[in-house]
Amino acid sequence: MDGWTMSKLRLLNSVLVLTCLLSLPGSVRALETTEKPEPDLNAPHVLREKKIRLKYDENVIRTGPGATFAIVATHREGEEFPVIAKRGDWYNVRLSDTNTGWVHSSLCEEFDDMSDLEFRPNPRLFSRVGSFSLSVYAGGYAFDRKSNSAVIGGKLGYFLFEFLELEGGVSWTQVSRPAEIVESLFNLALEAEEFDMLFYNMNVNLRVLPGRQMVPYVTFGVGSTIMEGQSEPSINYGLGVQMFVSKRWAMRWEVRNYQFDSGAEDARRENNNLEFSIGTSMLF
């Protein structure tokens, strides 16, 4: 035989051998991809979020860890959710990129021990979107670093999003301003005086850790300051923190800087005032 005929015979022989191999049991699986199988959920060596699976139909998801909290959703048997935190017999689960909820352990099965989630600092508790907040506070007010006085006030807020709250407030203080020279060349001076000051504002509060037990935030806004029969536009900004002692009650600490102009035309000046306050907030 010539070389070309021998090549055809060898090719035919190879095809027959391959056909025989494919006909054997398990040979297809052996030739499939060698990709490793997905590891078991929450195995000790797997670094991934822990999950729970719902066991019954119409499983109730609540806004907080308790039967008294409002129902936010119901989900069916077999659905799985990542677990964020654990409090007692309740799991805090992530429902979506923006929403969370709480489900009782009797309604679900866990894939691994989740006791370590109990010790997470500052856990995410529940959503506060759509809630109103009423705050009262007292503290100290430093008028342009020349006079210190007590201040009292109140605020009403509304949570538009987890991280954003709109808040309006009104405060009162009595300022005792010492005499001072405002222009040495012409010997212009301000006499010592005492007056009431009322200031109100509308602010935006940006929550750094929304939905948690301890919530730091930054605040900024605009308003008006009323003193000595005059109303002056003002801006303010500051930092604060809320510590929730229950679902509806929180302690509140805050420091703000108020900026506005005051005085007559010949002695008009810019004021930078500081307010330090402590108070309480109620959600409803």
CATH fold label, 132-283:
Porin (2.40.160)
CATH 2.40.160.20 domain position(s) in the chain? 132-283
Q: What is the 3-state secondary structure (H, E, C) of the chain?
A: CCHHHHHHHHHHHHHHHHHHHHHCCCHHHHHCCCCCCCCCCCCCCCCCCCEEEECCCCEEEECCCCCCCCEEEEECCCCEEEEEEEECCEEEEECCCCCEEEEEHHHEEECCCCHHHHHCCCCECCCCCCCEEEEEEEEEEEECCCEEEEEEEEEEEEECCCCEEEEEEEEEEEEEECCEEEECCCCEEECCEEEEEEEEEEEEEEECCCCECEEEEEEEEEEEEEECCEEEEEEEEEEEEEEECCCCEEEEEEEEEEEEEECCHHHCEEEEEEEEEEEEEEEC
Q: What is the pLDDT of the chain when averaged over all its residues?
A: 80
Side chain identity, residue 214: M
User: Tens digits of per-residue pLDDT, 107-163?
Assistant: 998 876 666 565 456 666 667 888 999 999 999 999 876 778 999 999 999 999 989
CATH T-level topology, domain 51-119: SH3 type barrels. (2.30.30)
Q: Looking at per-residue confidence, does 10 or 52 come out higher? A: 52
Asked whether the CA dihedral 148, 152, 154, 159 is positive or negative, the reply is positive
Higher per-residue confidence, 5 vs 186: 5
Share of the chain above pLDDT 70, in %: 70
- Could you report the per-residue pLDDT of 4-47, keeping only the tens digit for each? 566 656 666 666 655 655 555 544 444 444 454 544 444 433 33
pTM of the model: 0.58
